[in-house]
Amino acid sequence: MSYRQIFYQIVFGTKHRKMTIAEENCEQLYKYIWGIIQNKKCKLYRINGAEDHIHIFSDLHPSTSLADYIKDIKIASNGWMKDSGLFPDFEAWQDSYGAFTYSVREKDVIINYVKNQKEHHKKETFYDEFKRLLIENGVEFNEKYLL
Protein backbone atom coordinates (compact mmCIF):
# COMPACT_ATOMS: atom_id res chain seq x y z
CA MET A 1 0.00 0.00 0.00
CA SER A 2 1.19 3.51 -0.82
CA TYR A 3 0.72 6.46 1.49
CA ARG A 4 0.66 10.10 0.61
CA GLN A 5 -0.14 13.58 1.82
CA ILE A 6 -0.04 16.10 -1.01
CA PHE A 7 -2.03 19.25 -0.24
CA TYR A 8 -2.50 21.87 -2.96
CA GLN A 9 -4.20 25.21 -2.99
CA ILE A 10 -5.11 25.76 -6.62
CA VAL A 11 -6.19 29.18 -7.83
CA PHE A 12 -7.44 30.15 -11.27
CA GLY A 13 -9.59 32.89 -12.67
CA THR A 14 -12.07 33.60 -15.37
CA LYS A 15 -10.86 34.70 -18.78
CA HIS A 16 -9.67 38.33 -18.55
CA ARG A 17 -10.66 38.22 -14.84
CA LYS A 18 -14.24 39.08 -15.80
CA MET A 19 -16.81 38.99 -12.99
CA THR A 20 -18.87 36.13 -14.46
CA ILE A 21 -19.34 33.73 -11.52
CA ALA A 22 -22.65 34.78 -10.00
CA GLU A 23 -22.70 34.28 -6.24
CA GLU A 24 -26.19 32.78 -6.25
CA ASN A 25 -24.97 29.87 -8.41
CA CYS A 26 -21.55 29.27 -6.83
CA GLU A 27 -22.75 26.41 -4.65
CA GLN A 28 -23.86 24.41 -7.70
CA LEU A 29 -20.53 25.08 -9.44
CA TYR A 30 -18.58 24.02 -6.37
CA LYS A 31 -20.58 20.80 -6.05
CA TYR A 32 -19.94 20.01 -9.70
CA ILE A 33 -16.20 20.55 -9.26
CA TRP A 34 -16.29 18.42 -6.10
CA GLY A 35 -17.65 15.55 -8.23
CA ILE A 36 -14.76 15.95 -10.68
CA ILE A 37 -12.29 15.86 -7.80
CA GLN A 38 -13.85 12.71 -6.35
CA ASN A 39 -13.69 11.02 -9.76
CA LYS A 40 -9.94 11.76 -9.83
CA LYS A 41 -9.57 9.94 -6.46
CA CYS A 42 -8.65 13.18 -4.74
CA LYS A 43 -10.14 14.69 -1.61
CA LEU A 44 -11.60 18.19 -1.51
CA TYR A 45 -11.03 20.03 1.75
CA ARG A 46 -12.47 23.39 0.70
CA ILE A 47 -13.57 25.27 -2.40
CA ASN A 48 -14.64 28.89 -2.61
CA GLY A 49 -13.98 32.02 -4.57
CA ALA A 50 -15.32 35.27 -5.89
CA GLU A 51 -16.93 36.46 -9.12
CA ASP A 52 -13.65 36.26 -11.03
CA HIS A 53 -11.79 33.25 -9.61
CA ILE A 54 -11.88 30.14 -7.44
CA HIS A 55 -9.67 28.48 -4.86
CA ILE A 56 -9.55 24.71 -4.47
CA PHE A 57 -7.79 23.15 -1.49
CA SER A 58 -7.46 19.44 -2.04
CA ASP A 59 -5.07 16.56 -1.91
CA LEU A 60 -3.67 15.07 -5.10
CA HIS A 61 -3.78 11.35 -5.77
CA PRO A 62 -0.32 10.04 -6.76
CA SER A 63 -1.66 8.58 -10.01
CA THR A 64 -2.69 12.05 -11.22
CA SER A 65 -0.38 14.76 -12.46
CA LEU A 66 -1.10 18.27 -11.25
CA ALA A 67 -1.37 19.65 -14.79
CA ASP A 68 -3.88 16.96 -15.83
CA TYR A 69 -5.87 17.42 -12.62
CA ILE A 70 -6.30 21.14 -13.19
CA LYS A 71 -6.92 20.71 -16.92
CA ASP A 72 -9.69 18.16 -16.24
CA ILE A 73 -11.33 20.43 -13.66
CA LYS A 74 -11.21 23.42 -15.99
CA ILE A 75 -12.45 21.60 -19.11
CA ALA A 76 -15.33 19.83 -17.38
CA SER A 77 -16.48 22.83 -15.34
CA ASN A 78 -16.14 25.14 -18.36
CA GLY A 79 -18.52 22.96 -20.35
CA TRP A 80 -20.93 22.55 -17.45
CA MET A 81 -21.00 26.31 -16.74
CA LYS A 82 -21.89 27.06 -20.35
CA ASP A 83 -24.43 24.23 -20.69
CA SER A 84 -26.17 24.90 -17.36
CA GLY A 85 -27.23 28.41 -18.30
CA LEU A 86 -26.43 29.53 -14.74
CA PHE A 87 -23.43 31.61 -15.83
CA PRO A 88 -24.57 33.37 -19.02
CA ASP A 89 -21.63 35.79 -19.17
CA PHE A 90 -18.95 33.17 -18.49
CA GLU A 91 -16.62 32.77 -21.47
CA ALA A 92 -13.89 30.47 -20.18
CA TRP A 93 -11.27 29.95 -17.51
CA GLN A 94 -7.95 31.68 -17.99
CA ASP A 95 -5.17 29.49 -19.34
CA SER A 96 -2.85 29.90 -16.36
CA TYR A 97 -3.22 28.91 -12.73
CA GLY A 98 -1.39 28.92 -9.43
CA ALA A 99 -0.78 25.77 -7.41
CA PHE A 100 0.83 25.94 -4.01
CA THR A 101 1.77 23.07 -1.70
CA TYR A 102 1.15 23.05 2.04
CA SER A 103 2.01 20.83 4.97
CA VAL A 104 -0.45 19.13 7.27
CA ARG A 105 0.40 21.77 9.91
CA GLU A 106 -0.93 24.48 7.59
CA LYS A 107 -4.06 22.59 6.57
CA ASP A 108 -6.55 24.30 8.92
CA VAL A 109 -5.15 27.76 8.15
CA ILE A 110 -5.58 27.21 4.40
CA ILE A 111 -9.07 25.73 4.83
CA ASN A 112 -10.11 28.87 6.74
CA TYR A 113 -8.42 31.11 4.19
CA VAL A 114 -10.36 29.51 1.35
CA LYS A 115 -13.57 29.47 3.39
CA ASN A 116 -13.38 33.25 3.94
CA GLN A 117 -12.74 34.27 0.33
CA LYS A 118 -15.81 36.48 -0.06
CA GLU A 119 -14.89 38.48 3.05
CA HIS A 120 -11.21 38.54 2.08
CA HIS A 121 -11.92 40.08 -1.31
CA LYS A 122 -13.64 43.06 0.22
CA LYS A 123 -10.08 44.18 1.11
CA GLU A 124 -7.82 42.70 -1.58
CA THR A 125 -8.28 42.27 -5.34
CA PHE A 126 -7.72 38.92 -7.02
CA TYR A 127 -4.68 40.37 -8.82
CA ASP A 128 -3.10 41.53 -5.55
CA GLU A 129 -3.97 38.26 -3.83
CA PHE A 130 -2.42 36.16 -6.59
CA LYS A 131 0.73 38.27 -6.62
CA ARG A 132 0.99 37.95 -2.82
CA LEU A 133 0.56 34.14 -3.01
CA LEU A 134 3.36 33.93 -5.56
CA ILE A 135 5.67 36.00 -3.38
CA GLU A 136 4.78 34.13 -0.16
CA ASN A 137 5.49 30.82 -1.88
CA GLY A 138 8.78 31.94 -3.41
CA VAL A 139 7.57 31.66 -7.00
CA GLU A 140 9.47 33.83 -9.47
CA PHE A 141 7.22 35.66 -11.91
CA ASN A 142 7.13 38.45 -14.42
CA GLU A 143 4.38 40.86 -13.49
CA LYS A 144 3.70 41.52 -17.17
CA TYR A 145 2.40 37.93 -17.51
CA LEU A 146 0.30 37.74 -14.35
CA LEU A 147 -3.21 36.46 -14.84
pLDDT tens per residue across all 147 residues of the chain: 677 888 999 999 999 999 999 999 999 999 999 999 999 999 999 999 999 999 999 999 999 999 999 999 999 999 999 999 999 999 999 999 999 999 999 999 999 999 999 898 899 999 999 999 999 999 999 888 775
Domains and CATH numbers, the chain: 7-145 (3.30.70.1290)
pLDDT reported for residue 147: 58
Question: 78-81: long-range contacts at Cβ-Cβ below 8 A with a sequence spacing of 24 or more?
Answer: 80/29, 80/32, 81/29
Q: How many CB atoms lie within 10 A of CB 76?
A: 15
pLDDT reported for residue 4: 81
Prediction pTM value: 0.93
